[in-house]
Structure 1
């Protein structure tokens, strides 16, 4: 029987990564029943890595890290200096993930998070492939995997569908590069919630679950049943992480990038408990269905 670790994004609880915020976030994630905490590394300079690793270990929580890049540090750029800054950010993020005790760095590792005014060019894509090849080799040496998160057209022009992600992973050419599916983005870009999961199959390495408006699970219009059945079809055994954002919890750097203008919830711990119960029920209902 497949038993998936259930994760929760740290921004459900806190917008920052000060020592006090990390302590509260770890405590609340554990209290809500989660196995894993996902940390965004957009505030890496503010994160006390050793303290965070210690608190995660004491709580018995695994960790995964995620990030996108900025337009002045974008590996899909055609400017060598901009690409070099992005490559350094990815290297530093991989190091931090490893030091935190994590084995999985995921997200929009291939571009800035934001709306592009033009399609991706051939030179920019070649830069993405070259940088990710080096990062994947470095990750492999540490026993780590990379995730290519499939994001919608308003957040990147590099990878918008599962098929896009598979093509990029094939070009990078390392087995430790996996695909990260997120139902929020799939709702915008994919035909349904089943075919992309089947297409990715055993190359699926990470999953984000969130509503179409990023609020309480089940309060929107997403067909979670078909998605969880598809996960069972491909015997996916990796993490399933709840991701939700509200203007009630604001990140100093990430909230504007993700256009978090609306107050969809106030009580992060209550939201997290509800999401854990919702995902557990979906897994139980569709396991072996």
Structure 2
């Protein structure tokens, strides 16, 4: 059985220690066993205190992030790539220090809408940096997962097939894919087939609706998604992600184009998401059992 998690931006913009601790408490209160934080700058937060609180609540921590343009590891500029590699190494250490288990997101490029195609040299620079970061993460006991996102948030990895080639190029057995239903709905011809293609290389999974709001209020066929997750025996984290201007981190909101309220109250949203995911998962198990009968 997967571990069900929730993104901290359902609860807080993530600017204060108190907000992050509240997010941990609310996640546990709603029955979530994992929480996803955006990158936590060690100088701004008491990571030890957060780690102790998460442990006491039995909530596992994952961290996701995107690189800024001046630290884009898919750049052709060596200094820019070096700055990005340093930021990724620091992020792995921060995840370790907070007692987290994984670092994911757009780790292979800047989190932005590019105005150019990726280059062969940029791809090689990114591959080399992620291979190096994968070794640092392995030594720290941290999973490294690369989020495949839509064309408006990166120019490098928009499909699962591209992600698989990228991982092959790293030569690392420690780097896995991080897929997200919101992004797959934009880029994949067949999201369920993409999940099956990823197979045991799928290391982290985001559940999000096509409009970023309540699950079931958009166009994603979650029956097909959960059937595919069962088919590959996926047993890692499944994390609900939803963004609204009601609770806002300015940087992420600009990068993800969050311009409106997809919801205004977070408690009912979180309760609904957990029930929706558990129901869909149970329905998929029943379909599987029925189809297996002679």
TM-score (norm 1): 0.96
In structure 1, the residue matched to 2:111 is 113
The structure 2 residue matched to 1:193, chosen from 175, 181, 191, is: 191
CA contact (8 A) 1:17 1:43 kept: no
Residue of structure 2 aligned with 1:287, choices 279, 282, 285? 285
Q: CA deviation at 1:140?
A: 1.3
Q: Distance in 1 between matches of 2:180 and 2:135?
A: 25
Q: Look up the match of 2:28.
A: 30
State how far apart, in whole Å, the 2-side matches of 1:177 and 1:47 are: 27
Q: Which residue is equivalent to 1:149?
A: 147
Query: Counterpart in 2 of 1:68?
Result: 66
CA contact (8 A) 2:104 2:178 kept: yes
Q: Decide which moves more: 258-267 or 46-55.
A: 46-55
Does 2:255 match 1:227?
no
Deviation of the 1:252 alpha carbon: 3.6
In the TM superposition, residue 255 of structure 1 has moved relative to its aligned partner by 1.4
Match of residue 163 from structure 2: 165
Q: The residue matched to 1:115 in structure 2 has which SS? A: coil
TM-score by length of 2: 0.95
Q: 1:10 to 1:210 in 2, by over 3 A?
A: same
Is the 1:151–1:185 Cα contact (8 Å) retained in structure 2?
yes
Task: Determine which of 117, 120, 127 is the counterpart of 2:125.
Answer: 127
Q: Output the CA distance in 1 between the equivalents of 2:70 and 2:272.
A: 38
**Matching of residue 91 in structure 1 with residue 118 in structure 2:** no
What residue in structure 2 maps to residue 262 of structure 1?
A: 260
Contact 1:162–1:199, Cα closer than 8 Å, also in 2: yes
Contact 1:78 1:127 survives alignment (8 Å)? yes
Q: 1:240 aligns with which of 238, 241, 245?
A: 238
Root mean square deviation of aligned Cα? 1.2
Q: Which residue of 2 aligns with 1:207?
A: 205
CA offset digits 1:211-263 (Å, max 9, x no partner): 00100000111100000000000110010000000000111422111111111
Runs of 5+ unmatched residues, structure 2: 289-294
Kept after mapping to 1: 8 A contact 2:159/2:188: yes
Please identify runs of 4+ aligned residues in structure 1 that moved more than 4 A.
42-45
**Contact (CA 8 Å) 2:93, 2:140: kept in 1 or not?**
no
In 2, are the aligned partners of 1:16 and 1:252 still within 8 Å (CA)? no
Name stretches of at least 5 consecutive residues in structure 1 with no aligned partner.
none
By how many angstroms is 1:48 displaced?
Answer: 2.3
Q: Which string of whole-angstrom CA distances, capped at 9 and with x for unpartnered residues, describes residues 34-57 of structure 1? A: 010011106565332112111111
Counterpart-to-counterpart distance in 2, 1:45 and 1:253: 18
Secondary structure in 1 matching 2:66: coil
Q: Which position in structure 1 is the counterpart of 2:292?
A: none
Equivalent residues, number: 287
Shift of the 165–44 alpha-carbon distance from structure 1 to 2, 3 Å rule, reads farther
**Which of 18, 21, 38 is residue 16 of structure 2 equivalent to?**
18
